[in-house]
Amino acid sequence: MRERFEIALNTPAGQITSSVDVPTGFVPVSAIVPLMRRLGEEAQALEVARSIESGSAPSCQKGCAACCRMLVPLSAPEAFALRDWVRTRPSEEQEHIAHRFSEVKVRLMSHGIWQQLSALCEAPLTINDEALDGVNRMYYALRLPCPFLEDEICTIYDERPAACRELLVTSPPNHCDDLIKNPIDPVSMPIQVSTVLGLVWQELTNAPTRLIPLPLALEWADRYEGESRRTWKGDELFDQALDKTWRFVSQSFTRMSKDSDT
């Protein structure tokens, strides 16, 4: 059974009006991942339209995969959803994916980065930005392609994490050749879906907001198989996610007001 939610949400770039069919029975938290992605994409579309109107169109194009060499963080619900999706693939494809992840693991272990990423997954406290910056730079310095990147094309485009969806830039494409040295101009995102889902998971489990680096996501999700199978009422999960989303958007308006006063 599903219940239709009529959503009207004001963002700095305009109002999102959408209808979403939400499961009313007991479901795992991963069930709301596609619903939240859709909401995030609608908010993103408004920001892109506003950016184009101001003369700054996104410069990202198919085949431009510089950001696919960055460290991509997933929330716990996204890690579970990605693992579940992989399990739906034919056995030969699953083996190919496992091999790609294994190659990445070997490379990261040889540079001592895997161990640091594993520690991030299990950190007892929410990680601060300063602690993440060093690991991010070490990872990016390897220019290691995402396990799902083949021939410079994302092979899980429809299932890609929220962090991948939300990174759009208006700066020249060649700036992305070295994201550490070159300044980039990202399109503002009023809703960060991964953070919203992480906060929902934190509230549901009374645990820290987990940051799961993509190369570790499948292994981490397998390790927490039992947690991934816990269920809650779908409409209550979505209500919680909407509440976190509203708080995020409210912060965006507050920042705009402060900038205007300045």
Phi-psi region of 63 (alpha: psi -120 to 50; beta: other; left: phi over 0): left
Q: Domain ranges in the chain?
A: 2-261
Calpha distance 137→71 (Å, rounded)? 9
Helix, strand, or coil here: 182?
coil
The predicted pLDDT at position 150 comes to: 93
Per-residue confidence (pLDDT) for residue 236, from 0 to 100:
94
Q: How far is CA 67 from the centre of its chain?
A: 13
Torsion of the alpha carbons at 247, 250, 252 and 253, rounded to the nearest 10: 180
Return the pLDDT at 61.
80
One-character DSSP codes across 23-80: E-SEE-GGGGHHHHHHHHHHHHHHHHHHHHHTT------TT--GGGGS--EE-HHHHH
Report d(CA 155, CA 162) in Å as an integer: 15
Q: Which amino acid is it at 45?
A: A
Question: Mind listing the pLDDT tens digit of every residue in the chain (262 residues)?
Answer: 888 989 998 988 899 898 999 998 999 999 999 999 999 999 999 999 999 999 988 888 877 888 899 999 999 999 999 999 999 999 999 999 999 999 999 999 999 999 999 988 876 555 566 667 888 889 999 999 999 999 989 999 999 999 999 988 888 888 887 877 888 888 888 889 999 999 999 999 988 777 899 999 999 999 999 999 999 999 999 999 999 999 888 877 776 666 665 5
pTM reported for the whole predicted model: 0.92
Quote the pLDDT of residue 128: 60
